Amino acid sequence: MDLNNKTLVVTGVSSGIGAELARLARFCGATVIGVDRNEPQLTLDGFFKADLGDPQAIDTLLGQLPDSVDGLCNVAGVPGTAPLATVARVNYLGLRHLSQGLLPRMAPGSSIVNVASVLGGEWPQRLELHKALAATDSYATGQHWLEANPVDPATCYQYFKEALIVWTFQQSQHWFRDHGVRLNCVAPGPVATPILGDFVTMLGEERIARDASRMVRPALADEVAAVITFLCADASRWVNGVNLPVDGGLAATYL
């Protein structure tokens, strides 16, 4: 995959999928600017520490990032074992705020890739709620909507991954038509990353055992990173508005 002359911003760059993505993207020729709340343990072309759940921190970050960006990979996220407010801010509201802020700097042909989850696959069951949240036009209005429409803490991770998929679908046509910027999701199943244990706690032993019987193994982080890299490359220039499962076929077993 050719990423020569492209500048990518990768959030969650210090571990897991984000770190593997940064390595692969640089190998493919990209200039990679990393963002994380932890210091990276890999070579990057630039790095900024930021709390991606805080809109003021994101605004500060936007003032530090390059004037021209060819790709934004929203990999950073927290598991459902985190407080509900943190899950909402990092996995949805902050991600959206950063994407909206970078959009004017992205030339036609650029790409935004959001990391959703196989756990977001039940979005059609709450479609009207997710569309209403997607219709809020800022971090603050989204936060106010969530205050008026509280989410169950036990399923907040799934809820906001569903909401992310719906927001991506809804924005993709408009952003591609008006700005030439593609917007897609990848939806991994279980991935062997530092937070895999949190998902065992979040979903419970019974669900984990049931899913384990349906798949060969958890994904490796580089297997997801390769798909994100493809979605940032010109080879995928006509792929827009998709939620691409990267789960070894796990989702298909539930049909």
181-205 average pLDDT score: 79
pLDDT tier for residue 133 given thresholds of 50, 70 and 90: very high
133-140 average pLDDT score: 97
pLDDT tier for residue 49 given thresholds of 50, 70 and 90: very high
176 contacts 182 by C-beta, under 8 angstroms: yes
Answer positive or negative: Cα dihedral of 248, 249, 253, 255.
positive
Q: Where are the domains of the chain?
A: 7-245
Q: Give the per-residue pLDDT at 250.
A: 87
Assign domain 7-245 to its CATH architecture: 3-Layer(aba) Sandwich (3.40)
Q: Give the per-residue pLDDT at 38.
A: 96
Q: Give the per-residue pLDDT at 208.
A: 65
Question: Is 254 labeled as catalytic in the residue annotation?
Answer: no
Q: Give the per-residue pLDDT at 88.
A: 98
Q: Give the per-residue pLDDT at 186.
A: 98
- Residue 194, pLDDT > 80, answer no
Q: How far is 232 from 229, CA to CA, in rounded Å?
A: 5
Mean of per-residue pLDDT scores for the chain: 94
Kindly list the distances between the CA atom of residue 197 and the CA atoms of 107, 123, 187, 194, 224, in Å, as whole numbers in the listed order.
39, 24, 18, 7, 18
Residue 115's identity, in one-letter code, is: V
pLDDT tier for residue 244 given thresholds of 50, 70 and 90: very high
Kindly list the distances between the CA atom of residue 76 and the CA atoms of 12, 19, 91, 206, in Å, as whole numbers in the listed order.
4, 11, 7, 27
Kindly list the distances between the CA atom of residue 104 and the CA atoms of 66, 99, 179, 217, 232, in Å, as whole numbers in the listed order.
12, 10, 8, 40, 17
Q: Looking at 101-115, 170-184, 191-205, which range is the least confident one?
A: 191-205
- Over residues 18-41, the pLDDT tens digits come to 999 999 999 999 999 999 999 999
Cα end-to-end span (Å), the chain = 33
**Would you say how long the chain is, in residues?**
255
SS3 180: coil
Torsion of CA 9, 10, 11, 16, to 10 degrees: -170
- Residue 217, pLDDT > 90, answer no
- Residue 135, pLDDT > 90, answer yes
Q: Shortest CA distance to 88 belongs to which of 138, 153, 38, 135?
A: 153
175-200 average pLDDT score: 86
More confident residue, 1 or 130: 130
- Over residues 65-112, the pLDDT tens digits come to 999 999 999 999 999 999 999 999 999 999 999 999 999 999 999 999
156-173 average pLDDT score: 97
Cβ atoms within 10 Å of 214's Cβ, excluding its own:
15
Longest C-alpha distance within the chain, in Å? 48
Q: Give the per-residue pLDDT at 195.
A: 66
Residue in 92, 139, 157, 159 annotated catalytic: 157
